[in-house]
Amino acid sequence: MIDAIELVSEFFERLTAIDLQIVERAAKEPCPDCDGPLYRGDYPRKPRGGLLAVLAEVFGRRFSLCCGRDGCRRRATPPSVRYLGRRVYVGAVVVLASAVALAAATVSAGVGATGVPARTTRRWLRWWRGPFTSSAPFVDLSARMVPAPDRERLPVSLLERLGGDGPAPVAKLLVWLAPITTTSCADGSRLVRGVM
């Protein structure tokens, strides 16, 4: 399943379009702190794609919003399917490199296939098995899947259950993960519903 995935420009264009939908929905809402208007206030990012997603390195901007009311000016960054929180690598690479690390016979084989350092991949695998399993998206996904995904094989068990060929399951998983990509936008899951 992992070997067949090729992350081409159309995949990243689709993720960008989904992020634009999310930021447009968020811009229609008032500032969560003062009810003032929200305006686009994107900021620069320098994401990494490793060998899996060299094309993702063109994501130079993280879509964000700022309050337009004087005295507030708070940032309200909506969820994203391109970035997975504050991680330097794009979300698709975090998912795929973790899956490759589980499938690879040796650590060096995983590094050679993804371009992501082994230490980074091990840290991600600890996150998948630890903090992620207590997150709202995992609880929601587990409730929808019977039997629940195998925690020891995350994210592979989720990708297998989301079904489809190529990058489609990765995109679906990134949509489910989007609410945990920000803390400045309360209940980000409502902004993500129905975008795919």
Encode pLDDT of 34-68 as tens digits: 999 999 999 998 888 877 777 777 788 999 999 99
Print the domain residue range for 83: 9-192
Rounded mean pLDDT of the chain?
Answer: 87
Q: Examine the pLDDT at 30 and tell me if it is beyond 90.
A: yes
Q: Name the domain count of the chain.
A: 1
Specify if 4 maps to a domain: no
pLDDT for the residue 16: 92
The contacts of residue 176 (CB under 8 Å, 6+ apart) are 137, 140, 141
pLDDT in tens, 149-191: 999 999 999 999 988 777 889 999 999 999 999 887 777 778 8
DSSP state of 180: G
Reported for 100-109, long-range contacts at CB under 8 A and 24+ positions apart, including other chains, are: 100/2, 101/125, 102/153, 102/156, 103/2, 103/156
pLDDT over threshold 50, residue 1: no
- pLDDT at residue 4, as a whole number: 41
What's the confidence (pLDDT) of residue 5?
A: 57
- Spacing of C-alpha 113 from chain mean position: 21
In a domain, 49, yes or no: yes
CB 174 within 8 A of CB 92: yes
Task: Scan for tokens 């399917």, then name that residue.
Answer: 81
Q: Would residue 1 count as lying in a domain?
A: no
Mean pLDDT (whole number) for 6-25: 89
Answer whether residue 3 is part of any domain: no
In a domain, 139, yes or no: yes
**Is residue 3 pLDDT above 70, yes or no?**
no
Q: Is the pTM of this model over 0.75?
A: yes
